[in-house]
Amino acid sequence: MNNLFELSDLSLTQFATSFAQGAVWLGEGMENQIATFDLVVREMSDKRNYLVYCGLEELVNYIQNLKYSKKQIELLLNGKIITKKFAKYLENFRFSGDIYAMPEGTIFFPGEPIVRVTAPLIEASLIEIALFNITVSNVLFLSKAARIRSVSQGKGIILGMQRGHSFESGMKGLRSGYICGLLTTGWPNFIQKYNLPQKREYLINGQHFFIKSFQNEIEAFRKLAEYFPNNAGFMIDTYDIDQGLSNTIVIANELKRKGNGLRLVTIDSGDLAALSKKVRSKLDENNLKEVKILAATNMNENKIKKLFDDGAPIDFFILATEYVTVSDAPSLEVVYKISELRDGRAIHYTAKLSEGKTSCPGRKQVFREFKNGLMLRDVVGLVNESYETPLLKKIISKGFLTQKLPNLDSIHKFFDKQFESLPKKLLDIENKQKYPVIISKKIKDLFAKIKKEH
């Protein structure tokens, strides 16, 4: 999180209308009515065959720290957004409801509840906008990272946070990349934030401006190798790639004679397939087979796939701009729809009937069925229905966390199992593929009943 907002400031992450509605409900004695809301992605980009749920840790942190200060309440009162009675209500606010959610790293599809909130009506309403923002950013990143992994062929994918929309979004992008098994631990701040073990020394990649700060290229290479004799890499196309490659071979052999070794060379422009083949050939001819090749130049998953199709001998790829801005599919249509309202023993089922924007009634669960270890279909049913594997798990009960949240390594292992269960056709990054999501008969019958009543 950057310094633009403190966690306490996020209490006001809500439309003025949302606070006003709460004041009305409180004034009308509706504050004890228990509402159930579903957080659902209504539709996804044509460039995605599946989505991956992410952001639960951030969501839990937000909800468990949600409260209102005297200064915040005065701001709402002075703006005529709330009543004095609602101001008293906010003084002692604490979320007291239940939350069910898919574990982070779960594959999901449009129309499926990924978070289900059951809480007093006012409480459920006051977390709406935060739910949107937390979910959209994190799901976009993890879904993009999974797509990149699907074409990586086990090669090293290094993620950058430069050119992100903010420092916060960059850190979220690194977190999602880590969950997918991509390389993100070259960033010391990321390692510190998540208390990750530093498993190997950092790669030092001499950048263009570093090389241009010296009188000539070979001097820059030699100085970097002198200070970092076993973890240095060179960008070899600052001036002329042939000359850069020749200089690299000289320095790499100097290192080798001293018992050290150059880690890699980076190609940042031009025809990467042709150039990587030429570079690999030259390195091998000079007994430098251990030196790896890294490709940059605004990479994305489509470019990586094409390079592999062209037989490019590239070992590592850097992805920054295209990844950290999710440039191919930067939006996500998330909705938060009330599905049930309970007042004592009375239950009122609700659904939106608007054409193209319908929502389903009742407390729901998402069930997944498998065949030979692969995902076969999902069923959205009522909580009391019985299908193969329920995906929504209870995370918060009466406002309190039901279990310790998993660390990043545990989420990564969970995602690996999810990824292995994906049908091969869904890994296609070039063509739209469909996965069956079925609405149960009980929900359809309940929906038909509500539609008839209205």
Within the chain, which residue ranges are assigned CATH 3.20.20.70? 143-324
Average pLDDT, rounded, for the chain: 92
pLDDT band at 4 (very low <50, low <70, confident <90, very high): very low
Q: What are the tens digits of pLDDT across the range 249-308? A: 999 999 999 999 999 999 999 999 999 999 999 999 999 999 999 999 889 999 999 999
- Mean predicted confidence (pLDDT) in 414-439: 96
Calpha distance 235→221 (Å, rounded): 9
CATH superfamily of 7-126+332-453: nicotinate phosphoribosyltransferase (3.20.140.10)
- Give 11-67 pLDDT, tens digit per residue: 777 778 889 999 999 999 999 999 999 999 999 999 999 999 999 999 999 999 999
Q: Is the pTM value of this prediction over 0.75?
A: yes
pLDDT band at 222 (very low <50, low <70, confident <90, very high): very high
* Topology at the third CATH level for domain 143-324: TIM Barrel (3.20.20)
What is the reported pLDDT for 448?
Answer: 87
The per-residue pLDDT for range 98-118, each reduced to its tens digit, is: 999 999 999 999 999 999 999
Q: In the chain, which residues fall in CATH 3.20.140.10?
A: 7-126+332-453
- Give residue 190's pLDDT: 84
Q: With 80 as the cut, is the pLDDT of residue 354 above it? A: no
